[in-house]
Amino acid sequence: MITEFKFPDVGEGITEGYLVRWSVKAGDKIKEDQALAEIETAKAVIELPSPRDGFVIKLHYKENDEIKVGEVLVTIGDKDDLTGKGARKDSGTVVGVLEEVEEVEEKKAQRMVLATPAVRRIAKNMGIDISEVNGTGSHCKVTEDDLKRHANGKSVIKQDSDNFGDIIREPLKGVRKTIVKNISVYQQTAALVTHMDEADISELSIIKEKGIKLTYLPFIIKAVIIALKEHPFFNSTLDVKKSEIILKKYYNIGIGVDTKDGLIVPVIKEADKKNIIHLAEEIKKLAENARSRTLDLKDLNGGTFTITNIGVYGGIFATPIINYPEAAILATGRIQEKPVVVNSEIKIRKVLPLSLTFDHRIMDGGMAARFTNSIIRHLEDPGLLLLELR
User: Are 261 and 41 a contacting pair, CB within 8 Å?
Assistant: no
60, 139, 360, 378: the catalytic one is 360
Catalytic residue status for 278: no
Residues carrying an active site annotation:
360
